[in-house]
Amino acid sequence: MQRTYMARPGEVEKKWYVLDAKGKSLGRLAVEAARLLRGKHKPQFTPHVDTGDHVIVINADKVILTGNKLQKKLYVRHTGYPGGLKTTKYATLMQEKPEFAVRKAIIGMLPHNRLGSAMAKKLKVYRGPEHPHQAQKPEAWPV
């Protein structure tokens, strides 16, 4: 009887990939980044092991939101105090902190547990086309 292959944390080779967000839809970009972080593009994908790669997202300020999302979509958070609900329109968020908006979209597609937190640490998001990770020799990944 054959047994199902399960990857072990030490035997997974991790690569670095660069995703260019220029002109891409926020959701489509986030799906592809989450897929790379999770490791679903690899044949040795194992759900309970971090088999994913490192992802660098550049040009976060040039990502687009389709339809009326820029004016109607809200980023909502709560301070923890009574009446502490804070809302921000995505138009404001994309002007002030586009890296945060992209990061939030990607992390929302990862598991919400310790494994997802470990995967989120391998995500780097930058506003412009420059990034300080040339030493890792990242490969371009088509979105």
The pLDDT tens digits for 76-104 are 999 999 999 999 999 999 999 999 999 99
Quick one: average pLDDT of 36-53? Answer: 96
Rounded Cα distance, 52 and 112, in Å: 16
Domain residues for the domain of 69 are: 15-140
Tell me, yes or no, whether 94 lies in a domain: yes
- Total count of domains within the chain: 1
Matching residue, tokens 């009446």 = 83
- Domain assignment present for residue 10? The answer is no
End-to-end CA distance of the chain: 40
Is 62 domain-assigned? yes
Number of C-alpha atoms within 13 angstroms, CB side, residue 24? 19
- Mean model confidence pLDDT for the chain: 96
Residue 77 included in any domain: yes
1: in domain: no
User: Residues near 19 by Cβ (< 8 Å), separated by ≥ 6?
Assistant: 29, 32, 33, 36, 55, 56, 57, 58, 141, 143
Angle at 34 between CA 39 and CA 25, to 5 degrees: 140
Report phi then psi at 54, rounded to 5: -85, 140
> Do 6 and 49 contact (CB within 8 A), yes or no?
yes
In a domain, 3, yes or no: no
| Helix ranges (DSSP H) in the chain | 26-38, 69-72, 90-96, 98-107, 114-120
The answer as to whether 4 is a domain residue is no
The verdict on residue 80 lying in a domain is yes
Q: 4-15: per-residue pLDDT in tens?
A: 889 998 899 999
Q: Is the pLDDT of residue 1 over 90?
A: no
**Phi, psi of 105, rounded to the nearest 5 degrees:** -65, -40
% the chain with pLDDT above 90: 94
pLDDT one-digit tens code per residue, 98-137 = 999 999 999 999 999 999 999 999 999 999 999 999 999 9
Is pLDDT at 143 greater than 90 in this prediction? no
Q: Which two tokens stand for residue 130?
A: 């420059």
